[in-house]
Amino acid sequence: QTVVTQEPSFSVSPGGTVTLTCGLTSDSVSTSYYPFWCQQTPGQAPRTLIYNTNTRSSGVPDRFSGSILGNKAALTITGAQADDESDYYCALYLGSGISVFGGGTKLTVL
């Protein structure tokens, strides 16, 4: 069974830069998996940040960027702000219409 992996937690200082990753237990992540990233704060619906590896969704500030780093997809937040403290989820498209989310990364800004 294919599992999408994410760091369970991460912390960053205000103004700092952090890179969250999204991997696969069975393969290297490439653009062919159409990496997708969303942000969720407690009690709210998720909000899409990045799709197709590096395309920002409407209204998403450019301090959020997506890429492939090595064998994983990556979400980089540059100049972290207090309200970036959220859960971040990636999803990968596995083909045949199937997508899978990772377990999410809880980001703390302190």
Partner 1 sequence: EVQLVESGGGLVQPGGSLRLSCAASGFTFSRSSMHWVRQAPGKGLVWVSRINTDGSTSYADSVKGRFTISRDNAKNTLYLQMNSLRAEDTAVYYCVTDASVGGYWGQGTLVTVSS
Return residues touching partner 1 (CB under 8 A): 34, 36, 38, 40, 45-48, 51-52, 57-58, 87, 89, 91, 96-104
Q: Which is nearer to partner 1, 96 or 110 (by Cβ)?
A: 96
Nearest approach in angstroms of CB 98 to partner 1 is: 5
Nearest approach in angstroms of CB 54 to partner 1 is: 12
Tell me the backbone φ, ψ of residue 93, rounded to 5 degrees: -90, 120
Q: Which two tokens stand for residue 69?
A: 């780093």
Q: Which is nearer to partner 1, 17 or 55 (by Cβ)?
A: 55
C-alpha dist (Å) from residue 17 to 2, 10, 26, 71, 77: 30, 11, 29, 20, 6
Q: Which is nearer to partner 1, 30 or 46 (by Cβ)?
A: 46
Distance of CA 102 to the CA centre of its chain: 9
Nearest approach in angstroms of CB 58 to partner 1 is: 5
Tell me the backbone φ, ψ of residue 54, rounded to 5 degrees: -145, 15
